């Protein structure tokens, strides 16, 4: 599993990195099947469209790519507090991954492989 954390227009802090790594580990342990080719990238940035009179918004973007699947999952959340943005982004990602897991489970139930029945003719009794 590879994890990348990008900070844009924000000073990098060890506390924020540890917080994000704990969230990534919890997500990987809970919802994702063991996958050595998993790539999670987290991007944190301060929104630039805010004026100087207003407080800035922090944006958190999480992208999950798996080697076992061709799908890419991406969630983006904004908040005035950096850590609330991270928590809400990971919570949204958990919901998305859980929905995908439920869909896969229901598809497996609907597309069951039929049981194979042996159609060989019955064996004749052996004369004694």
Over the stretch 79-122, which tens digit does the pLDDT of each residue have? Answer: 888 999 999 999 999 888 887 766 655 555 555 555 555 666 66
pTM as predicted: 0.72
Could you give the domains of the chain? Answer: 2-104 (3.30.160.100)
Of 86, 29, 61, residue with least CA distance to 1:
29
DSSP alpha helix (H) spans, the chain? 14-31, 82-110
What is the pLDDT confidence band of residue 32, given thresholds at 50, 70 and 90?
low
What is the predicted pLDDT for the residue at 98?
80
Over the stretch 35-62, which tens digit does the pLDDT of each residue have? Answer: 667 888 999 998 766 556 677 789 999 9
Cα separation of 101 and 72, whole Å? 14
């Amino acid at each position: 599993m590879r994890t990348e954390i990008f900070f844009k227009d924000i000073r990098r802090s060890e506390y924020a990195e540890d917080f994000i790594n704990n969230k990534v580990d919890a997500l990987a342990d809970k919802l994702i099947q063991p996958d050595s080719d998993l790539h999670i990238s987290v991007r944190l940035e301060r929104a630039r469209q805010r004026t100087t009179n207003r407080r800035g918004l922090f944006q958190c973007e999480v992208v999950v790519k798996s080697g076992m699947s061709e799908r890419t999952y991406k969630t983006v959340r904004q908040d005035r507090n950096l850590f609330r943005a991270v928590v809400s982004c990971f919570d949204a990602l958990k919901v998305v991954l859980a929905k995908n897991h439920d869909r896969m489970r229901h598809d497996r139930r609907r597309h069951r492989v039929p049981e194979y029945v042996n159609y060989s003719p019955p064996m004749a009794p052996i004369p004694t």
